[in-house]
Chain A
Amino acid sequence: MKHFKEFLIEKVIWFCGVTSIVIVVLIFIFLLKEGLSLFKHVNLVDFLFGRKWYPISDPPHFGIFPLVLGSLTVTLGATVIAVPLGIASAIYIAEIASPRIKEILKSGIEMIAAIPSVVIGFIGMTTLVPFIKHYLNLPTGLTAFSGALMLAFMAMPTIVSIAEDAITAVPHKYKEAALALGATRWQAIWRVVLRAASSGIVAAIMLGIGRVIGETMAVMMVTGNAAHIPESLFEPVRTMTATIAAEMGETVQHSEHYFALFAIGIVLFIITFIINLIADLSIHRHRE
């Protein structure tokens, strides 16, 4: 009897262990199941490179090129802002701050991750957007730039904490050797520690980008959601995530528009999958 109970529990545990794989597979199957139906009506090239996203006009156009560019513009902007700041802060926290300050700063950074994205979007809408409109003298403050700023902020916890882990994991003797040779602390950090931590830092950047590209609510609330091809950072854009979130509520189930939104989901899933894979590979290289 006892053996049977033990056997049963172990089976349950094994089953729970493999659920993660099952779920990933299920996500992919369901995205494909709904998304691929679109390609009965629209060919893949028109979908990926079509310049018009007019899902409810007659005839509808399902070209996601402007949406992909929208996501890329915002992501690129956010990365350019977030990476130098985030890594600088990770260095400060890992190498310079005293243990007490370090704990406070780390908690502060974690707090950013805790604030719901809809709250960040709301604050962006009510403070940042009017500010940008006024000071940059633009027709509207709902721009890719506003989105990039919000997203840079939201990517910080990911970038800082993972880069900080990577820097902390560099063996002390590396730095001590550099200091013993007469290097200043900064020289030791810049030329020795950062190099040794570089693959971990790459992982931090990749995961930060993954976070940014998948962010939905904040970006939907501050970027203006105009589905056209952006010519500068200071125009409204619409991202892939915002398109799904804004339009899914209004579609008819199993209509072309509905399938198209799932097809965008597939594109997003594949992009984030690749980004996470690269991050994971560089973390493993780092450990070796």
Chain B
Amino acid sequence: MKPNPYRTERIAFTLLLISTVVIILPVFFIVFIIIQKGFSAISWEFLTSIPKMGMREGGIFPAIVGTLYLVLGTLIFALPLGVFSAIYLTEYAQDNLLTRLIKLAIINLAGVPSVVYGLFGLGIFVIFLKLGASILAGSLTLGVMVLPIIITTSKEALDSVPKSFREVSLSLGVSKWQTIRYSVLPHALPGILTGIILAISRAAGETAPILFTVAAFYLPKLPHSVFDQAMALPYHLYVISTQVPNVEVKIRYGTALVLMMIVLSLNLAAIILRSQFRKRKKW
């Protein structure tokens, strides 16, 4: 008997739907369980006090501050570099070997394991440049890691600005840089912003690159300068869930909740911004 193609189709489509559901469901499960078990830990005191009793009590304030500093440092380094690099690729680069090499390098950077970035940061920033384990070394390491994210999203945004915008500006006798500055960049800004937000969320959530470049196991005070070590939320979660025994479940889940909320809300903002950007585009 020949199989009925319409029945095959129904079966196939059902299987495809089930696969999709199987992939999406754990997301809801993870978000749900972290909120359910972590919500009761969240209080003003938890967010604003330092850890006490070997991190078994108290709050996570130094870890939040440390993560903020790291994100800021990452941006100061990666943002100009990434955006200019994207401008080079879209506006200046010719179709030659150098450009192909740059593109290959970016693809490769995006695929380097995060722990290898950690090794690189340790080798170059901490030891070779003698910055020590510090906020500066950690920010630079994270900056290198998020660079491909900023470059690819900025490049996409710049590419989407029509060629005619540039031609009109150039034909009026405006220089190339002024054209980029006044007729291209403003239109690409929302797209670039999306990339920046994604980079922030990645930098805030990564653990492996900061393990040996900045992260302090337990440091119940705030960093004073960029040459200090600092605590950071993702590493703090790792420490209290694997290295310190008998930490209350509530504190672990509470820390996970704060970290997840920061990262997810950033990503949500990026998604909304991008869809607004696409809708508003009139060309």
Contacts and interface: CB of A to CB of B under 8 A. Distances in A.
A interacts with B: yes
Interface of A: 2, 6, 9-10, 12-14, 16-21, 23-24, 26-27, 30-31, 33-34, 84-86, 88-89, 91-93, 96, 103, 105, 107-112, 114-123, 125-127, 153, 156, 160, 184-187, 190, 207, 210-211, 213-217, 221, 241, 244-245, 248-249, 253, 261-262, 265, 268-269, 272-273, 275-277, 279-280
Contacts of A96: 13, 16-17
Interface string B163-200: 00000000000011100000000000000000000000
A115 B260 contact: yes
A110 B98 contact: no
Given A30-B123, A96-B16, A221 B238 contact: yes
Nearest to A28: B120
Given A12-B84, A20-B148, A89-B16, A125 B123 contact: no
Interface in B234-283: 234-235, 237-238, 241-242, 249, 252, 256, 259-260, 263-264, 266-267, 271, 275
B211 interface: yes
Contact of B264 (A27, A114, A245): A114
B112 A18 contact: no
B123 A217 contact: no
A248 B211 contact: yes
B81 interface: yes
Contact of A17 (B16, B84, B113, B117): B84
Interface of B: 5-6, 8-9, 12-13, 15-17, 19-20, 22-24, 26-27, 30, 33-34, 80-81, 84-85, 87-89, 91-93, 98, 101-102, 104-120, 122-124, 127-128, 144, 147-148, 151, 175-177, 201, 204-208, 211-212, 234-235, 237-238, 241-242, 249, 252, 256, 259-260, 263-264, 266-267, 271, 275
B88 A86 contact: no
Contacts of B117: 27
Nearest to A35: B119
25 contacts: A6-B175, A14-B92, A17-B85, A19-B85, A23-B105, A23-B144, A27-B112, A33-B123, A88-B16, A88-B20, A117-B206, A117-B208, A119-B205, A123-B256, A127-B33, A160-B23, A187-B5, A213-B113, A216-B207, A245-B208, A249-B211, A268-B116, A273-B108, A275-B111, A277-B104
Contacts of A119: 30, 34, 205, 234, 237, 256, 259-260
B9 A187 contact: yes
Contact of A116 (B110, B206, B241, B252): B206
B185 to A, nearest CB: 12
A243 to B, nearest CB: 9
Given A116-B263, A119-B259, A268-B116, A276 B84 contact: no
B205 A214 contact: no
B104 A85 contact: no
Contact of B106 (A20, A190, A216, A241): A20
Contact of B119 (A118, A262, A272): A262
Nearest to A27: B120
Nearest to A246: B211
Contacts of A93: 20
Which of A86, A88, A119 has its CB near the most chain B CB atoms (within 10 A)?
Answer: A119
Contact of B87 (A13, A116, A160): A13
Contact of B123 (A14, A34, A114, A116): A34
B241 A122 contact: yes
Contacts, number: 255
Nearest to B89: A17
Given A16-B85, A118-B205, A186-B5, A111 B27 contact: yes
Q: Dominant SS at the A interface?
A: helix
Nearest to B272: A107
Contacts of A108: 24, 27
A265 to B, nearest CB: 4
Nearest 4 interchain pairs by C-beta: A214-B113, A17-B88, A116-B205, A16-B84
A23 B107 CA distance: 12
A122 to B, nearest CB: 5
A187 B11 CA distance: 12
B22 to A, nearest CB: 6
Contacts of B249: 126
Contact of A114 (B89, B122, B201): B201
A211 B114 CA distance: 10
A20 B271 CA distance: 26
Given A30-B124, A156-B23, A269-B116, A184 B111 contact: no
Nearest to B178: A6
Contacts of B205: 114-119
B13 A186 contact: yes
Nearest to B92: A13
Which of A19, A93, A153 has its CB near the most chain B CB atoms (within 10 A)?
Answer: A19
